């Protein structure tokens, strides 16, 4: 019998991968406008206070709050408007007792003033405004450094940049930002049974549509990488060897599908010095890794599980990404059982706080992936979860 002599426990194998993969040192400086979804290569420290000065948060009148304390609707306080400025201008006037300066949202607070009253809240007649209610000191003022202080670390290395992060970068003066180079991920598909162009006759005669490459390219893009497709390679020792060697020379990571088991035609694992081959995961047990090469299954569902359980984490390590998974807690709608000794990857549909396990089994069943939007993991020492138990779902 030729079988895996030993299945490496899931986590042990994952640790081997993460120890072997080093964070890329290559950094690219890209315009902030092109940095969406990229991974920050260094902490960002603000070079300025933002806002750089106390400013008005509304369109209205800057005044001394103390002046308004006696104001009542039946006995308004009157203030004289000594200046009016428009957005982006600065008043030269000083707000002395009994006076006010008209300004706009974002205007710098004039000297002497410590609060702003919204223009809708006053009655104006000529150069005089009437204030009907007291205004608290600081009201409607955005203070200098209130958003970000000079020298403050505002974004951390490893952050995946979102629209609001780009806005912050721009607001504190960054025109470009240092992000990690996208790892190049070579994809090699092996298998004489695969066809790339649809041909119903060939399918009926035993061929199979190749669909792992398009799935892996999408997954690699989702997790920070740039896929490089090396095509479908026939089950030929020389062809597979040279494809792997070429890909390894050109890429940071290589994924080979279809050569993971011990079939007579499974050559891929012979050319790579593997740290492990065969782990406790299910599906996807025959996964192997060594020398920046993952040996993966031919079946789409197994490939998908191997990607999420191993490759995704390797990609995150390569770019140093934090918070790259969306994990949610959910109530399991029905029992799932698992074999002791297996680390199971269970597809679920998550909705309204509940996770419904997808019952379709079989690692060729792509529709089971399509009908799911996340997965739960059941470690080796568990026989599964009961209906109603709280589980952690990773969304995809």
What residues numbered 131-170 form the site for a second copy, per CB under 8 A?
Answer: 142, 146-148, 154-155, 162-168, 170
Quick check: 30 binds a second copy (CB under 8 A)?
no
In sequence order, which residues have a C-beta less than 8 Å from that of residue 115 and are 6 or more positions away?
62, 63, 64, 65, 68, 135, 136, 137, 138, 139, 140, 141
Quick check: 238 binds a second copy (CB under 8 A)?
no
The residue among 33, 323, 34 whose CA lies nearest residue 182 is 34
Quick check: 298 binds a second copy (CB under 8 A)?
yes
- Options 288-296, 311-319, 327-335, 375-383: segment touching a second copy (CB under 8 A): 327-335
Distance CA 166, CA 177 (A): 9
What letter does residue 269 receive in the DSSP assignment?
A: G
Closest approach of a second copy to the CB of residue 232, in Å: 11
Out of 369, 376, 378, 394, name the contact with a second copy by CB under 8 A: 369
Question: Cβ closer to a second copy: 207 or 241?
Answer: 207
Closest approach of a second copy to the CB of residue 84, in Å: 9
Site for a second copy in 256-285 (CB under 8 A): 261-265
- Options 32-40, 69-77, 92-100, 178-186: segment touching a second copy (CB under 8 A): 32-40
Number of H helices, E strands in the chain: 9, 28
Out of 27, 153, 209, 386, name the contact with a second copy by CB under 8 A: 209
Question: Cβ closer to a second copy: 159 or 338?
Answer: 159
Quick check: 359 binds a second copy (CB under 8 A)?
no
Question: Cβ closer to a second copy: 16 or 194?
Answer: 194
Helix axes 312-319, 10-20, angle to 10 degrees: 30
Cβ atoms of 382 and 346 within 8 Å: the answer is no
Quick check: 52 binds a second copy (CB under 8 A)?
yes
Out of 18, 24, 30, 57, name the contact with a second copy by CB under 8 A: 57
Write the burial class of residue 348 (CB in 10 Å: 0-12 exposed, 13-18 middle, 19+ buried). Answer: buried
- What token pair was written down for 235? 């089950």
The residue among 391, 377, 365 whose CA lies nearest residue 309 is 377
Closest approach of a second copy to the CB of residue 274, in Å: 18
The residue among 175, 159, 184 whose CA lies nearest residue 30 is 175
Closest approach of a second copy to the CB of residue 22, in Å: 26
A 10 A CB-CB count for 162 gives 11
Question: Cβ closer to a second copy: 75 or 352?
Answer: 352
Quick check: 126 binds a second copy (CB under 8 A)?
no
- Give the 3-state secondary structure of residue 316: helix
Closest approach of a second copy to the CB of residue 279, in Å: 16
In sequence order, which residues have a C-beta less than 8 Å from that of residue 232 and are 6 or more positions away?
189, 190, 191, 194, 196, 210, 213
Quick check: 218 binds a second copy (CB under 8 A)?
yes
Quick check: 5 binds a second copy (CB under 8 A)?
no
In 3-state terms, the chain is what percent helix, strand and coil (to 5)? 20, 30, 45
Quick check: 45 binds a second copy (CB under 8 A)?
no
Quick check: 172 binds a second copy (CB under 8 A)?
yes
Question: Cβ closer to a second copy: 8 or 213?
Answer: 213
Count, residues near a second copy per rule CB under 8 A: 103
What is the 3 state secondary structure string of 145-184?
CCCECCCCEEECCCCECCHHHHHHHHHCCCCEEEEECCCE
Question: Cβ closer to a second copy: 15 or 123?
Answer: 123
């Amino acid at each position: 019998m030729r079988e895996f002599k030993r299945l490496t426990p899931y986590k042990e194998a994952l640790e081997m991968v993460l120890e072997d993969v080093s964070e890329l040192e290559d950094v690219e400086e890209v315009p902030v406008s092109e940095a969406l979804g990229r991974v920050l290569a260094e902490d960002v420290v603000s070079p300025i206070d933002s806002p750089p000065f106390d400013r008005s948060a509304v369109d209205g009148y800057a005044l001394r709050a103390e002046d308004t304390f006696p104001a009542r609707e039946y006995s308004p306080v009157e203030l004289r408007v000594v200046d009016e400025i428009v957005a982006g201008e600065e008043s030269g006037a000083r707000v002395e007792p009994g006076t006010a300066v008209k300004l706009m949202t974002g205007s710098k607070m004039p000297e002497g003033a410590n609060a702003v009253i919204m223009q809708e809240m006053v009655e104006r007649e000529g150069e005089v405004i009437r204030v009907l209610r007291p205004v608290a000191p600081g009201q409607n003022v955005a203070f200098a450094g209130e958003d970000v202080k000079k020298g403050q670390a505002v974004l951390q290395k490893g952050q995946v940049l979102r629209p609001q992060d780009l806005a912050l970068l721009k607001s504190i003066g960054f025109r470009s930002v240092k992000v990690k180079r996208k790892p190049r991920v070579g994809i090699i598909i092996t298998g004489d049974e695969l066809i790339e162009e649809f041909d119903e006759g060939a399918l009926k005669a035993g061929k199979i549509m190749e669909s792992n490459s398009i799935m892996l390219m999408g997954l690699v893009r989702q997790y920070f990488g740039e896929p490089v497709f090396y095509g479908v390679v026939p089950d030929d020792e020389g062809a597979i060897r040279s494809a792997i060697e070429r890909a390894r020379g050109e890429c940071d990571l290589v994924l080979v599908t279809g050569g993971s088991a011990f079939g007579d035609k499974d050559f891929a694992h012979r050319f790579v010095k593997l740290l492990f081959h065969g782990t406790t995961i299910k599906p996807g047990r025959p996964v192997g890794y060594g020398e920046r090469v993952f040996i993966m299954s031919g079946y789409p569902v197994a490939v998908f599980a191997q990607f999420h359980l191993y490759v995704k984490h390797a990609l995150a390590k390569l770019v140093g990404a934090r918070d790259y998974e969306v994990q949610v807690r959910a109530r399991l709608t029905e029992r799932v059982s698992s074999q002791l000794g297996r680390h199971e990857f269970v597809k679920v549909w998550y909705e309204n706080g509940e996770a419904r396990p997808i019952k379709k089994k079989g690692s060729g069943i792509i529709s089971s992936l399509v009908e799911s939007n996340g997965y739960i993991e059941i470690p080796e020492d568990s026989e599964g979860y009961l209906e109603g138990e709280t589980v952690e779902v990773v969304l995809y």
